[in-house]
Structure 1
Amino acid sequence: MCRRVDVGLAEVVRPGTRLVVCCVQVRDPGNAGTVVRCADAFGADGVVLSTGSVELTNPKTVRASVGSLFHLPVAVGAGLAAVVEAAHVAGLQVLAADGSGDVELSELSRTGDLVRPTLWLFGNEAWGMPAEDRALADRVVRVPLFGAAESLNLATAAAVCLYATATAQHPG
């Protein structure tokens, strides 16, 4: 017997939270654990693994989180619409990361939009985020790529977006 490491959605997405991460149907345990670790490192208030995501207690997820899942609130199994609704009720803007986004991350940094309380949505490794899921977001954001790489790994994109948000929310 041991205590559960996951919490309810209301404990993660609530008034007063500044930064929350939602993995939308993320299936790779290494990616999920790395996103939890990055969320912790960049000061997020919590993480949600939506319905259809990998098990939080998968050994590879636990290993990749390097212990962050034991002290950062993580909710599992919530439907994406419920997560987005909870975020809006709590006063968070909802940003979805996607390579085809209509706004660049650097633009949100310049305009100060990343200072606002934010829920970030990160999609599946193989197919990204379906259009109906992206439509739930207030903005769809792309990380600009300057080299020949076609895209970023999910966890890498999450790290870039979370770092940009953390530096905006915690200047100096």
Structure 2
Amino acid sequence: MHELIENPKAPRVKRVASLAKKKERNETGRFLVEGPQAVRELLAYRPRLADVVYATTGDEAWQFEIDNLAAQAGVEIERVTPQVLAAMAETVQPQGVVAVARIPEITLTEALAGAKLVAILHEVRDPGNAGTVLRAADAAGADAVVFSGESIDPWHPKVVRSTTGSLFHLPVATAASLSEVVEAAQAAGLETIAADVRGTEVTDAREQLRGNVAWVFGNEARGLGETERAVIGRSIKLPIFGEAESLNLATAASVLLYETAFAQRA
């Protein structure tokens, strides 16, 4: 058993806290996982990614479960004070446990191989939206999620938290350009479809969703540009039956992913 870590200003505490910054994540190849749910899913589904777990002492149910999962995976647990945990975490009120994990090296080819349903996030900047789409993709049975262009880093602490562990359930890849992702998706036998308000209504396009589909979701504010839509090909939209001006990106993505899941299982 290691000694309790009590100094919030200790170098290793600062190293863990620095993973909230993209520069540090890129340099170290590591990211921060916060909270019992996310750490539990990391240890249960991707234990080989886990470097170390830092947890406070106590008798909460999650602590026994995480202790057991860490022991089974051979992952070290370091005990820390609440003050140290607070210094490590990105959240204002951390939940007693964080982990340091390695960023998985997954190529586009690996992520898309054999896939039937994929979500591509292009230039999506909001961490809550990105995490919610990833979580919805997981729930709808998608096979992979890809972040392209200047989208937010999928390993950003807020994205990781908002996925509530779904980040560890399916492959997540990144790509520099949309054209690169579209080319890889088509090579993998997926039809790329843009979620776009200028497209065909999904109620008139359900037959087209029965095949292998890679949905492309664009930036929250401006959507997808003309050049991007041309690269993708087909566009489909959700109808607005009420008086709402539009749908939030994450809401629309969730509905379209489920529409596709229903069609593929019909």
Q: Shorter-chain TM-score: what band?
A: over 0.9
Alignment of 1:1-172 (within 5 A): 1=51, 2-5=101-104, 7-14=106-113, 16-101=114-199, 103-109=200-206, 112-171=207-266
Confirm or deny: 8 A CA contact 1:24 1:123 kept in the other structure.
yes
Q: CA separation in 1, counterparts of 2:188 and 2:233?
A: 14
Identity of aligned residues (%): 51
What is the count of residue pairs matched by the alignment? Answer: 167
Equivalent AA in structure 1 for residue 107 of structure 2: G
Residues 6 and 170 of structure 1: is their aligned pair in 2 closer, same or farther, counting only changes over 3 Å? farther
Structure number with the bigger relative contact order (C-alpha 8 A, sep ≥ 6) is: 1
Q: CA separation in 2, counterparts of 1:59 and 1:170?
A: 34
Tell me by how many angstroms 1:18 deviates. 0.3
Q: Rg bigger for which structure?
A: 2
Confirm or deny: 8 A CA contact 1:6 1:74 kept in the other structure.
no
Gaps spanning 5+ residues in structure 2: where? Answer: 1-50, 52-100
Tell me by how many angstroms 1:53 deviates. 0.4
Equivalent AA in structure 1 for residue 151 of structure 2: S
Tell me by how many angstroms 1:60 deviates. 1.3
Q: TM-score, normalised by structure 1?
A: 0.93
More helix by share: 2
Runs of 4+ deviating beyond 3 Å: none
Q: TM-score, normalised by structure 2?
A: 0.61
Confirm or deny: 8 A CA contact 2:103 2:155 kept in the other structure.
no
Superposed CA offset, 1:76-108 (max 9, x none): 13411011011111111110001121x111111
RMSD: 1.2
Tell me by how many angstroms 1:40 deviates. 0.3
